[in-house]
Amino acid sequence: MNLAVMYHYVREPEDWKGSVPISPKEFESQIDRLGKTHDFVLPDELNNKTAKPKCILTFDDATRDQYEYAFDIMRRKGVPGYFTVMSGPLAEQEVPVFHLVHAALSLVEENHLWDELRPHLTAEDLLKLRKADATYAYEKSSIRKWIKYTLNFILDAKQSKNILEHLVYSLIGSKQKFIDDMYIGVEEFRIMKQAGMTLGVHSVYHAPFDGDVQAYFTNEIAPCVQFMQEQLNIKPSWYTPPFGGGEKKELMKENLKDLLLPCGFKGAFTTERGMIEDTGSFWYKRIDCNELTELTL
């Protein structure tokens, strides 16, 4: 059956503890295994005839490790893929909270970080942490789940940034160094485009869908489209929502499509787990790279 595989960080797990990365070696091994059972295609090629089921390699968040490791391996092996652009860090020097969270969790001991956050939460906020288990099911540590949920969903972006920015940038060296080290730059995206990779829209600030369709499109999607047109000479036609749409993903799927279609978008990739059962759909499910099994393959 056709599938899309979802990747985020491609870097050594022992060097990046803020999320659940896949090592470059394991990434290459997955490509070799997938290549035995599937034909790698770009999103626009989903309806092409192939000898084997089709597989799309998809990448969220536009982190530099994807260029340095994943893209390098794919180019060497002649494997196509779909990478998304997040314009805020490049166009406005705005770093999303969730990347500061990952950096803090990689650089600071988690119990110490939770001790810094706990005083900012009310009794009502603490009850909201019950949702952290489902949102971050891939995390084994409850404290890590609480930290991520607090910073991404309970505190507003300004509160979270006030807590994290000084801590992270002081350890990295500067905000600009963090951005340069963290994200794929315009020139790298141009190289990826020239190599035949599909580039799509992820977001501006990586905010979860808030329920206001028009405002969300205006703030998180349209400026990224404009950035790609001006800087990369690309009119994007594929979309990947941050957090898969978040807690209001069903509302997003129901209503956002009507704004995306007139702008030339052909489809979008969610974080919902599953195979691609209908190649004529708009919202496509994916399999997380860390959940690939022999049964999946």
Average confidence score pLDDT of the chain: 94
Domain that holds residue 265: 3-93+183-291
Instruction: Report, in angstroms and rounded to the nearest whole number, the Rg of the chain calculated over CA atoms.
Output: 19
Contacts of 30 (CB under 8 A, 6+ apart): 5, 22, 289, 292
pLDDT of residue 152 exceeding 60:
yes
Helices and strands in the chain, H and E counts = 15, 8
pLDDT greater at residue 97 or residue 179: 179
Same domain, yes or no: 205 and 165 = no
SS (H, E, C) 28-69: HHHHHHHHHHCEECCHHHCCCCCCCCEEEEEECCCEHHHHHH
Token pair in block for residue 273 = 């787990």
pLDDT at 297: 56
How much of the chain, in percent, has pLDDT values that exceed 90? 82
Residues, the chain: 297
**Domain tally, the chain:** 2
Token pair in block for residue 285 = 């499910």
Same domain, yes or no: 208 and 278 = yes
How much of the chain, in percent, has pLDDT values that exceed 70? 99
* Contact in structure between 101 and 78 (CB atoms under 8 Å): no
Token pair in block for residue 184 = 């794929």
> Identity (one letter) of the amino acid at 244?
G
* Contact in structure between 7 and 26 (CB atoms under 8 Å): no
Same domain, yes or no: 87 and 207 = yes
pLDDT of residue 295 exceeding 70:
no
- Which of the listed ranges 90-99, 150-159, 175-184, 288-297 does the model predict with the highest average pLDDT? 175-184
Interval 224-250: pLDDT, tens: 999 999 999 999 999 999 999 888 999
pLDDT at 179: 97
Token pair in block for residue 91 = 């166009």
Same domain, yes or no: 235 and 88 = yes
Same domain, yes or no: 74 and 201 = yes
* Contact in structure between 238 and 268 (CB atoms under 8 Å): yes
Same domain, yes or no: 270 and 137 = no
Question: Pick from 120, 143, 178: which residue ends a domain?
Answer: 178
CB atoms within 10 A of CB 192: 21
Same domain, yes or no: 151 and 201 = no
* Contact in structure between 59 and 66 (CB atoms under 8 Å): yes
Same domain, yes or no: 71 and 202 = yes
Question: Pick from 163, 178, 193: which residue ends a domain?
Answer: 178
The reply to whether 102 falls in a domain is: no
